[in-house]
Amino acid sequence: ISAYAARPLPKVAATRSYGAQVVLHGLTVEDALARARELAEEDGAIFIHPFDHPDVIAGQGTVGLEITEQCPQVRTIAVPVGGGGLAAGTAIAAKARIPGVRVIGVQAEAVAAVPASLKAGHPVTVHGGPTMADGIAVARPGELTFAVLAELADEVVTVSEENLSRGLLLSLERAKQLVEPAGVAGVAAPLEHSPLFEPPAVIILSGGNIDPLLLAKVLRHGLAAAGRYLAFRCRLTDRPGALATLLGELAGLGANVLDVVHARVTADLRVDEAEVLLQVEARGPEHCDSVISQLRKAGYTVLFS
């Protein structure tokens, strides 16, 4: 199995644990695909494409059959899209059973090859930026998958990194499902494109391979995006008790302090000033706004960086 070098360690370790030889090559899916073709030619092995093959599309399309069997009243299905195999197969199967069902593909906006390809009328390669959704960071859709999506996908939308974080947090906190950022793209989609989702809606969660360190970072981003985590700088008079007074203000506002970093020597501080970097836990966006507003009313200089 050829994979690019930046793949999450748990995904590589899990694949090796099943007895596969994993060859890490390059920085992108396209690099790994090219190496896989080379290995097949060198060893006389059979090259199996990860998404652009009828059998792969059909196999992944069984998800569409399961959805229509278990939720025959479904009106909308959201599917993460990388190379397009899962979305193409799901669209074929679901629309064969329920012709009126809407199938919405979802890509990370940092690597959105399918919307660009649909606009061009043929598969194109995009040079995207970094995304936490490595599992769908495919720079060019397949020829077969593109043809299916062009015909059967009702929409292919993009989601921001912020909403991928929010979607992961929502899945973990409310659905008790630990899903990798690529797999949670469908959860992020209604956060940005809610009018497209006629209920009942089914969201496919595809993939739970996430590095614990990345999970910690993503959860922090998700908490911040949901207004549950707030980081800011605050200027104080450098005298005994000033920090205690500020912390008392925060306690009175119901903001739980997670971390405090105290600095006295920066270029723009007066001799009698100090600055603290605070990380606090809040109850939501309105509570964050209230905390900042009340601190400013109390005479504090609150800054964000």
153 and 178 share one domain: yes
**Over residues 31-38, mean pLDDT:** 90
62 and 104 share one domain: yes
- Cα separations in angstroms, 200 against 44, 167, 210: 48, 18, 29
CA 305/CA 62 separation, integer angstroms:
48
Please say if the pLDDT value at position 22 is more than 80. yes
pLDDT tens by residue, 40-92: 999 888 999 999 999 999 999 999 999 999 999 999 999 999 999 999 999 99
pLDDT tens by residue, 121-168: 999 999 888 999 988 999 999 999 999 999 999 999 999 999 999 999
Q: Dig out the tokens for 60 from the structure.
A: 């992944």
In this prediction, residue 267 carries a pLDDT of 67
In this prediction, residue 114 carries a pLDDT of 98
CATH number of the domain where residue 95 is located: 3.40.50.1100
pLDDT higher at 220 or 179: 179
In this prediction, residue 269 carries a pLDDT of 80
Domain boundary among the residues 192, 224, 256 is at 224
What lies within 8 Å, CB to CB, of 257 at 6+ separation is 247, 250, 251, 278, 279, 280, 281
Confidence of residue 221 (pLDDT cuts 50, 70, 90): confident
48 falls within a domain: no
In this prediction, residue 128 carries a pLDDT of 83
112 and 149 share one domain: yes
Please say if the pLDDT value at position 252 is more than 90. yes
Contact 18, 218 (CB under 8 A): no
49 falls within a domain: no
Confidence of residue 8 (pLDDT cuts 50, 70, 90): confident
In this prediction, residue 192 carries a pLDDT of 96
pLDDT tens by residue, 169-210: 999 999 999 999 999 999 999 999 999 999 999 999 998 888
CA 74/CA 98 separation, integer angstroms:
9
pTM reported for the whole predicted model: 0.81
118 and 234 share one domain: no
CATH number of the domain where residue 251 is located: 3.30.70.260
81 and 208 share one domain: yes
125 and 199 share one domain: yes
CA 150/CA 16 separation, integer angstroms:
36
220 and 231 share one domain: no
pLDDT-wise least confident of 2-16, 173-187, 217-231:
2-16
Contact 163, 225 (CB under 8 A): yes
**Over residues 218-245, mean pLDDT:** 89
172 falls within a domain: yes
- Cα separations in angstroms, 155 against 14, 188, 201, 213, 235: 33, 15, 14, 33, 48
In this prediction, residue 139 carries a pLDDT of 93
21 and 168 share one domain: no
For the chain, how many structural domains are there in total?
3
Please say if the pLDDT value at position 280 is more than 80. yes
Give the residue numbers spanning the domain of 184.
Answer: 54-224
10 and 122 share one domain: no
Please say if the pLDDT value at position 266 is more than 80. no
pLDDT higher at 8 or 15: 15
